[in-house]
Amino acid sequence: MKSLKRTRDITPLPSRNFKITVDDQPVDACEGETVLSVLLAANYARVMENDRNVASGAYCGMGVCHCCQVKINAKHKQRACQTLVEPQMSVETLTNRFKEEGIKHD
């Protein structure tokens, strides 16, 4: 399986690390960091797709703007910047309940 490379870390990851999956690809993560920091280190800029199918990237990094919502462990709309990584965590970017379930509201 292709694994994601963390090319944008500023300091090396501590050795006590584990893997999570992002869009079905394994990637290194370490205790205490957020899902967003993994995504950014692995070169993701577009992370979220909103209910109107517009992509967005994390903006505030502190839980306020809701621009970084991804699917985490099968739950939609989790803020990547406010969720700490855990072993075996599964993250999906650019997913949206409306797109997946094919139902539109307006």
57 neighbors 93 (Cβ within 8 angstroms): no
Q: Pick from 98, 10, 101, 20: which is nearest to 53 by CA?
A: 98
Among 9, 31, 51, 86, binds another protein (CB under 8 A): 51
Q: Which residue has the tokens 């909103």?
A: 50
Integer Cα distance of 23 and 20 in angstroms: 10
**Span near another protein by CB under 8 A; candidates 13-21, 57-65, 80-88, 98-106:** 98-106
- Let me know: does 92 contact 46? Beta carbons within 8 Å: no
Binding mask 68-87 for ligand FES (x = CB under 6 A): x----------x-x------
Phi, psi of 97 (to 5 degrees): -55, -40
User: Residue 11 binds what, of ligand FES, another protein, none (CB under 5 to 8 Å, by partner type)?
Assistant: none
Query: Any contact of residue 26 with ligand FES (CB under 6 A)?
Result: no
Contact positions vs another protein (CB under 8 A):
51, 75-77, 97-98, 101, 103, 105-106
Residues that bind ligand FES (CB under 6 A): 58-61, 63-68, 79, 81
